[in-house]
Structure 1
């Protein structure tokens, strides 16, 4: 057994991302324990382990893991690293308990948004950031569907590296992920937040409209507004190693996607907004758009499309319309 295989990895949260990470890491020989708030999830993981299916390749992976209900004092003191995989809207609630349950253990935020690390740093001594680039859908309390192996970027918060960063990168590489190590993870996090703006039209627009000009133009214009806002605010949004498309490149990619045949979803793997609308749960994506709106207001940059898309997302959530409920032109143009 290699030193990496002896590492004990705690995963707080058994949503889609947590399950993918858990399956892959456990399959790579790491000792994985989930900390969950659902008794159903804890029982399912303890009884049957965790399962991942890739409908693209036909891969089916099962792995053993353990699960603990809640976060008790010192519950994870023997862990090598903690992966925080709860929704961003839950970070402030769970952060104090993490500081108590995992004393002196580095905690990595495997989450969207740009605020989680700062919130967590108030309660733990060492915070890492992780950018997760893989769409995945939880289909059972202990099962998830995804495509391929995915890409992750890791780094110390707000910048720098360290042995714990290198060790976590090694864990993810052993699990088959495409891994980047960032000297300034906040820049990668801002880039990912902008990319996540496109998740809203992906979830809201009916599938047959994913091959329309209105659909791809909505996504491109959301990014253009974000690019202008971040430039005015002096915020860098970039890839640590150039392997993730820049905002300029992503805008061009979206506008070319119709001709390239890449604008439509090909397989039944859905993002977190889609799943939240289906299950009538809280939708964290509204906060991505609000960040852009607030920065735009502060720096005098108009963001009308982000405002309209946010309004339509809130309507779908509040009225229980579910995912894939709108035409593409309803997002691109008000009215």
Structure 2
């Protein structure tokens, strides 16, 4: 399969590099010239518990000059989705599938605006990646699940073919007939902790010891569940506190959410695709979301205060 990873940071390289090792034709696209140069000169170095490997793989700073591929895996930061895909339409031919494995909700609509909804598949992955240096990553792929699916819930031959390619490379992948439900389940986890941890600047240990924070988080999750119910989305959660507890399961007290990490690095967050997605869907379906609206407003204020 001919595959392009749009947004080949640590996670994109972990997935793309693993697929390249299995014999697929890969191009890793990353705007960072140091990442591209290192991969071009030395290959992609991937560290796993069983040792380190190096795979020769094409890397580029943009899609310019690259023709259509079978699959585009989109892993850019949420707020770069429109700009990145608009600059990469040369990758999309008549049969190309564009698969978002990004965090949050709403990327599939942006991608559909640019390439057309029939090209778009949605997904969620629990694969991890850590950047050690340009062209050198830790690949957390073993036993980590990826779920993909058609937006209309059909089990399509193309989704099955992608899952087969992923599974053949050792990336455990399932085709879901309820990918929106899968995405909402993951969204509830992010809604529970992302904003409250970022506003308070607290890691999980102290965050989970303050009853008022828990009450706010659970209320935000309940709003999201009410919106999902109004939209006809099938969730696996029946009680909002379960999402709050699941968010911290197995994580150390010093764990920080990705949203808090973004603010600490002086970067804007993916709030528009997390609590902001609850707002948009709530407006669409006539469900009030005042807690999520307040959390979004607070994060927007913190972003505005970042040094420019």
TM-score over 0.5 (shorter chain) = yes
1:194 matches 2:188: yes
Q: CA RMSD in A?
A: 3.3
Structure 2: how far apart are the matches of 1:59 and 1:274?
31
Q: Equivalents in 2 of 1:306, 1:206: separation in Å?
A: 20
Give 3-state SS (helix, strand or coil) of 1:248's partner: coil
Matched residues in 1 for 2:14 and 2:246: separation? 30
- Partner SS state of residue 235, structure 1: coil
Task: Assess, with a 3 A threshold, how the Cα gap between structure 1 residues 298 and 98 changes in structure 2: closer, same or farther.
Answer: closer
Match of 1:4 in 2: none
Following the alignment from structure 2 to structure 1, what is the Cα–Cα distance between the partners of residues 120 and 247? 37
Q: What is the aligned partner in structure 2 of residue 292 from structure 1?
A: 278
Q: TM-score of the superposition, structure 1-length normalised?
A: 0.74
Alpha-carbon spacing, 1:253–1:99, altered in 2? closer, same or farther (3 Å): closer
Change (3 A) 1:297 1:185: closer
For residues 87-126 of structure 1, what are the structure 2 equivalents within 5 Å?
A: 87-104=77-94, 105-124=96-115, 126=119
In the TM superposition, residue 197 of structure 1 has moved relative to its aligned partner by 1.6
- Counterpart of 1:222 in structure 2 is 220
* 2:57 corresponds to which of 65, 75, 78: 65
Contact 2:128–2:141 (CA<8 Å) still a contact in 1?
Answer: no
Gaps of 5+ in 1: 1-6, 239-245, 322-335
Question: Are 1:135 and 1:146, in contact at CA under 8 Å, matched by a contact in 2?
Answer: yes
Helix, strand or coil: the match of 1:247? coil
Q: Distance in 1 between matches of 2:141 and 2:35?
A: 24
Number of residue-to-residue matches in the alignment: 299
Higher mean Cα deviation, 80-89 or 177-186? 177-186
- 112, 123, 135: which one aligns with 1:130: 123
Q: Does the CA-based 8 Å contact 1:286-1:313 persist in structure 2?
A: no
Cα deviation, 1:188-243, whole Å, max 9, x if unaligned, reads 22333333223514554235414525465554333222112222x333043xxxxx
Further displaced range: 7-16 or 215-224: 215-224
Q: Structure 2 regions of 5+ residues with no counterpart? A: none
Evaluate the alpha carbon distance shift between residue 297 and residue 41 of structure 1 in structure 2; reply closer, same or farther with a 3 A threshold. Answer: same
Q: Distance in 1 between matches of 2:254 and 2:203?
A: 15
Aligned 1:239-278 pairs, distance under 5 A: 246-248=236-238, 251-252=241-242, 254-255=244-245, 262=249, 264-265=251-252, 272-278=258-264
1:167-203 superposed Cα distances (whole Å, 9 cap, x missing partner): 2111222333332212243332233333322351455
Q: Partners in 1 of 2:299 and 2:288 — Cα distance?
A: 19
Give TM-score, length-normalised by structure 2. Answer: 0.80
C-alpha displacement of 1:92: 1.8
Distance 1:158 1:97 in 2: 27
Q: After superposition, what is the alpha-carbon deviation per residue over 1:130-173, rounded to whole angstroms, capped at 9, x for unaligned?
A: 21234544444434446553221111233323332112111222
